[in-house]
Amino acid sequence: DVKVTQSSRYLVKRTGEKVFLECVQDMDHENMFWYRQDPGLGLRLIYFSYDVKMKEKGDIPEGYSVSREKKERFSLILESASTNQTSMYLCASSLRAPNIQYFGAGTRLSVL
Amino acid sequence: EDQVTQSPEALRLQEGESSSLNCSYTVSGLRGLFWYRQDPGKGPEFLFTLYSAGEEKEKERLKATLTKKESFLHITAPKPEDSATYLCAVQAAQGGSEKLVFGKGTKLTVNP
């Protein structure tokens, strides 16, 4: 079974803090993705990576950056957290398209 | 711009009452259409992939179908454990995109 593991289920941070969300997959997938999910807005793509050290902006990259130093690990970074970044963050991975994206359990981030 | 619209937004059924969820899409060449199930506070769980019009797939009480403009998720004799949000996503062929475009989901509640 494919396993995508997100390091935290719940996080509470203060405005202005630097926040790291970590994601690890165990299936040697080329692609990894970060989404955020908000009520009424659905799933929105923040960034994705199709190879180590490669990244592409998704639909809402502002305020976020990413890092992929190893194939199995994809990190989402909030340089200076703001209250409007309070959300559910979901990581996913897949083989090359067209292929199924497998999701982690999600990290619910609250920025106070 | 690729778009996915799901209807209805919410659906309440009695146990055993069959129904269908709709996913309408506009995409510049369909590479694949994906159905996911999402339980509250969890990541989406993959259900089906459909690649071409006329294709059908089944799993227990669920059956997914695909035309050139829409997909249906038919639920036959649902049980309370089928209660969840069902997400539809499409992957475009143009540009070799690895991205999925998600609809906002249909929240299904099955009452005993």
Q: Which tens digits make up the pLDDT trace of A41-69?
A: 989 999 999 989 899 999 999 999 999 99
Whole-angstrom distance, CA of residue A34 vs CA of residue A43: 10
Q: Point out the least confidently predicted range of A94-108, B40-54, B85-99.
A: B85-99
Q: What is the DSSP secondary-structure string of A68-80?
A: EEETTEEEEEESS
Percent of chain B with pLDDT over 90: 83
Whole-angstrom distance, CA of residue A36 vs CA of residue A84: 12
- Which token pair is A87? 């959300």
Note the pLDDT of residue B29.
Answer: 85
End-to-end CA distance of chain B: 41
Q: Which tens digits make up the pLDDT trace of B63-102?
A: 999 999 999 999 999 999 999 999 999 998 766 577 889 9
- Selection from A85, A93, A3 nearest residue A77 by Cα: A85
Taking the Cβ of residue B57 and every Cβ of chain A, the question of whether any pair is shorter than 8 Å is answered with: no
Rounded to an integer, the average pLDDT of A17-40 is 95
Q: If 0-12 CB within 10 Å is exposed, 13-18 middle and 19+ buried, where does residue B106 land?
A: buried
Taking the Cβ of residue B31 and every Cβ of chain A, the question of whether any pair is shorter than 8 Å is answered with: yes
**Is residue A98 over pLDDT 70?**
no
- Selection from B61, B69, B45, B71 nearest residue B13 by Cα: B61
Note the pLDDT of residue B7.
Answer: 97
Q: Point out the least confidently predicted range of A39-43, B60-64, B105-109.
A: A39-43
Could you tell me how many helices (H) and strands (E) chain A has, helices first?
A: 0, 11
Note the pLDDT of residue A48.
Answer: 93
Distance from CA of B111 to the nearest CA of A (A): 23
Rounded to an integer, the average pLDDT of B41-59 is 95
Q: Does B45 sit within 8 Å of A103, measured CB to CB?
A: yes
pLDDT band at B27 (very low <50, low <70, confident <90, very high): confident
Reduced to 3 states (helix: H, G, I; strand: E, B; else coil), residue B7 is: strand
**Is residue B10 over pLDDT 60?**
yes
B interface test, pick of A27, A29, A101, A110 with most B CB neighbours within 10 Å: A101
pLDDT band at A40 (very low <50, low <70, confident <90, very high): confident
Q: What is the DSSP secondary-structure string of B16-85?
A: T--EEEEEEEE-SSEEEEEEEEE-TTS--EEEEEE-STT-EEEETTEEEEE-SSEEEEEE-S--GGG-EE
Q: Which amino acid is at B73?
A: L
Distance from CA of A95 to the nearest CA of B (A): 9
Phi then psi dihedrals of residue B69, to 5 deg: -125, -15
Taking the Cβ of residue A39 and every Cβ of chain B, the question of whether any pair is shorter than 8 Å is answered with: no
Taking the Cβ of residue A94 and every Cβ of chain B, the question of whether any pair is shorter than 8 Å is answered with: yes
Note the pLDDT of residue B96.
Answer: 57
Q: Does A96 sit within 8 Å of B100, measured CB to CB?
A: no
